[in-house]
Amino acid sequence: MRLTPVEQKILLLAMDPVAPPGELASAANKLVLLLRKRFEDGYALIKDLETLPERANRFGDYVLQFGKHAPETPGGHSGRG
């Protein structure tokens, strides 16, 4: 799930530790109202959150395609025989 720019701002306000209680409650309420427009119910939201793909590019899991070390991994292991 990707949050819209408005949802991101509202979430940041809701999570701000120095936000007054009234702003926190208003931001949390607004975020839930926006999410209710996007999802049929809470189960649909949970399903969307739990089906996020894992990040494919973790540190060390890529091959350099440029420079003098191509096509080596950052650890210096060459893909060449």
Q: State if pTM tops 0.85.
A: no
Per the prediction, the chain carries an average pLDDT of 81
Would you say residue 74 lies in a domain? no
Contact 13, 21 (CB under 8 A): no
Quick check: is 10 in a domain?
yes
pLDDT at 46 over 80: yes
Note down the domain range covering 44: 5-50
User: Helix or strand or coil: residue 2?
Assistant: coil
pLDDT at 58: 62
53-78 per-position pLDDT tens digit: 766 556 666 565 676 766 655 555 55
- Alpha carbons 58 and 71: distance in angstroms, whole number: 17
Exposed, middle or buried: residue 48 (CB in 10 Å: 0-12, 13-18, 19+)?
middle
Q: Domain for residue 60, yes or no?
A: no
* Separation between Cα atoms, residue 42 and residue 49, nearest integer Å: 11
CB 62 within 8 A of CB 53: no
Per the structure block, which two tokens stand in for 70?
């191509």
Q: Report pLDDT digits (tens) over 9-20.
A: 999 999 999 999
